[in-house]
Each structure stands twice: as C-alpha cells, then as structure tokens.
Amino acid sequence: MRDKSRADLVNRRRFLSAASLAGAGIAMTRGASATDTTKPDPLITEVQDWQRYLGDGVDKRPYGSPSKFEKNVIRRDVSWLTASAESSVNFTPLHELDGIITPSGLCFERHHGGVAEIDPAKHRLMINGLVEKPLVFTMDDIKRMPRTNRIYFLECAANSGMEWRGAQLNGCQFTHGMVHNVMYTGVPLKVVLDEAGLRPNAKWLMLEGGDASGMNRSLPVEKGLSDVLLAFAMNGEALRPEQGYPLRAVIPGWEGNLWVKWLRRIEVGDQPWQTREETSKYTDLLADGRSRKHTFIMDAKSVVTSPSPQAPLKYKGRNVLSGFAWSGRGTIQRVDVSLDGGRNWQTARIDGPVLDKSLTRFYVDFDWNGEELMVQSRAIDSTGYVQPTKDELRKVRGVNSIYHNNGIQTWLVHRNGDSENVELG
C-alpha cells in the first residue's frame, strides 16, 4: 500500500517536471500563477501526515464547521463604536467570501437588545388593528401556509455610515460589512394579511419584535402586499438566533432596520406610528437642518473586496480583483472598475446569478506589475441609476447623515501590495 503510493508520487513528480509542463502546453508564461516546478517541492515529493493517518470518523462532526485553518474568517466588531455589546453591530468578512451567498454563521448581526433565545413552541405572531378578523398564529400555523424561496441582500441603513466625513475604517469588512445575502424560506405577508382581511382605510403596518428592545417600525401596506416575506428559514435551515429565530420579516431592497427579527406582532393602521426608529433614528439630517424621513430603499452600491486593506496583493502578474454590487431597486446591470482613481473605467465580468435585490459578484482578471493602484468600483442598476462618487453624494446630502452612504469606495494599493482606505480630493 505504502510502496504503491510512493511510486505514484514519483510518477506524479516526473509528470510535473518543467519539461513535461511545457510539453503539455501549460507553459509558464508571464502572468501565469503556477509555482516554479523546476525545484523539488517536499509537499509533492514526500508523503504527508494527513495521508499517513486516518482522519476523523463520521461520528465526530454531527454539525459541521469550517476548517481550523479558516479561523480568521469571522465576524468582527469595532469596540469603540458602541457603548455595549448588546446594542451593537458586528460585520460580515466580505473580503473572505466568494460567490453571492453569505454563510449563515458569517452574517453580520445588528441588535438593539441582544439576541433573544425564543422557544418556537412559545412563539406567536399576532395581527391586529384595522383588520376584519384579528389573528394569532403559532409557528406550526405559519409553516402550513404556502411558502416561497428567495435570495435577497439585507443592508443596514448605517452601512458605511462612519465614512461621511472622510475615510475612517481600514477594511471592507468594517466600511461595507453591514450587508449579507441569503436564501430565505417564508410565507408571503400578503397571504396572512388576506386571511385577516384589511379594512378599506388600512395604509400602514407596524412590525414589532419580541426581543428585549421590542424594536418596531412602520411599513406602507403596498410594500407589505408586494414582496414581503415572513421567513422562518435561511440558507435551507431554521433562522439563526442572531437573525431572528424563529421568525423575521424580509423587506426586499429596503433598509435593514425594517426587517424586524423575532417578529411577534403586526398592527394595521391608517398612518405611520412615528416610532423611535423612524424619527430620532433612521432619518437623514441634511445640511440645511431638515431631515429626510422614510428613506426605505437602499440605492445601488458596490465595493471591491479584493484587493482591499484586509486582502493585500501578494503576487505580481496574474491577479483576480473581485467584489460585490447590489441595488434595492432591481438587478445589477453593469459594474465598472477603475484602477487609477476613476480616470479610466473598464467593465467588470459579472459571474454567477444576477438576481433581483441580491448581491451580485463581479471580477476583473488583471496583471499587476507592482505599480500603485487606486481601485474603485461603480454599480449601475436595471433602472439606469449610477452609483455616485462620495463628493456627488455630499453635494446633495451634506455630511451630517449616518445612513444611506452609497458613495464610490477607493482603496489605495501600495507597491508592497498593502492597501488602505482613502478619499480622492
């Protein structure tokens, strides 16, 4: 057995000699990224421990988790941002992700009163107010109604909120990581509202959470009747406690604050409730002292996740630039990328599904000759809306805002491959 595997390895080494690579047409040209095969590599020529010994059996990992070599791929918080960890936020490690789906355990968390741990058998959803028939549902009741599966991004309105007055946080995890993108399974809210029967003067819904903060927000009835879901699953399994187990509202394309977690009550009314979250918070203070209110939709936005401060360029020659684009108004139609601070733009290669109100993945395959770069991306959505520069945004919105900062991000890539968050003056 052993002898055989050694013989195999020797054969493999012979096959991988530089001469045979050239013979096979896999020439080592400029920009190619394969390792130099002219020097013997013990990782090829020697039998390794993980080949020598048996691995864990199927009884050792009843619920799987990532490789121990991926232990840096975690949500991170910024301790000085908030006074307590219970009313706080941590950030999705966007620079470590690929494709469009955010793994459940890496979805950023935003709580106003910590994570409620709710026994689904004791959870109820109540519909009251301007309805013909007030109703109370158990989780089992909800799971017996027609359900649907949809992939949507959730972005906190405060994503990039620290960047209004200039470049602040060094890493796309911190500047853009209040976004995640998962597949939800849930019941259309319309099904539940139809069952309760809306009265003719029903104009607004108030969604209320069952956590210690009892967070609540007003939502126009038209949105509630269009694409809102009462979700009980994400990425094929029950919601995580952090994401509102056992039930959360999914409000596609609209600011994350409306996506009430641990959803326990929906009241139907004829006007908005003017809750804390829509008066003192989640309004956008303009330069002239007036405030924008009910700014629900998340406009088109994008960010290059690699290279970025947490994802340095390590090699000259062949490299992959990558990032995400999204829009609360529809699909992503095009993403432009600049390597010189917006002087020249090229169209990025979009790969993977392009879905309505979902993160979309883009790439630029490029050769890096070790020069300084100023990397930017610009999203264009299906309505023709073009992501603005930060200066264009400030002209309209001033610098007092926290919310809805969708300006173009710049990473300055130094000659050593490290990058930093900068703004072009």
Interface residues with ligand MTE (CB under 6 A)?
A: 107-112, 154, 156, 180, 209, 211, 213, 215, 242-243, 256-257, 259-262
Quote the least distance from Cβ 88 to Co ion, whole Å.
Answer: 11
Identify which of residues 257 and 310 has a Cβ nearer to ligand MTE in the complex: 257
Selection from ligand MTE, Co ion, none that 421 binds (CB < 5 to 8 A by kind) is none
213: partner contacted, choices Co ion, ligand MTE, none (Cβ within 5-8 A by kind): ligand MTE
**Pairwise CA distance, residues 149 & 92, whole Å:** 23
Cβ at position 329, least distance to ligand MTE in Å: 19
Cα–Cα distance, 98 to 101 (Å, whole number): 8
Which region, judged by CB under 5 A, interacts with Co ion, from 101-109, 124-132, 150-158, 229-237?
A: 150-158
Which residue from 256, 269, 309, 388 is in contact with Co ion, where contact means CB under 5 A? Answer: 256
Residue holding tokens 């017996």? 144
Q: Does 260 bind Co ion (CB under 5 A)?
A: no
DSSP H helices, 197-352, are 221-226
Beta carbon of residue 367, minimum distance to Co ion (angstroms, whole number): 40
Residues sharing a CB contact under 8 Å with residue 95, sequence separation 6 or more, in sequence order? 171, 172, 173, 305, 306, 308, 310, 311
Q: Which residue is nearest to ligand MTE (CB)?
A: 209
Query: Is-contact 275 218, C-beta < 8 A?
Result: yes
Give dist(CA 375, CA 22) in Å, integer: 35
3-state helix, strand, coil in the chain (%, to 5): 20, 30, 50
User: By CB under 5 A, is residue 156 in contact with Co ion?
Assistant: yes
Nearer to ligand MTE, 227 or 336 (CB): 227
Name the residue nearer to Co ion (CB basis): 217 or 264. Answer: 217
Q: Of 49-57, 104-112, 310-318, 398-406, which segment contacts Co ion by CB under 5 A?
A: 104-112
Give whole-number Cα distances, 274 to 71, 216, 219, in Å.
Answer: 43, 10, 11
Residue 89 φ/ψ, nearest 5 degrees: -150, 145
Q: Which residue is nearest to Co ion (CB)?
A: 156
Nearer to ligand MTE, 275 or 319 (CB): 275
Structure tokens at 37: 């095969």
Closest CA to 183 of 144, 140, 230, 236: 236
Candidates 213, 257, 275, 401: give the one binding Co ion (CB under 5 A).
257
Question: Which residues bind to Co ion, rule: CB under 5 A?
Answer: 110, 156, 256-257
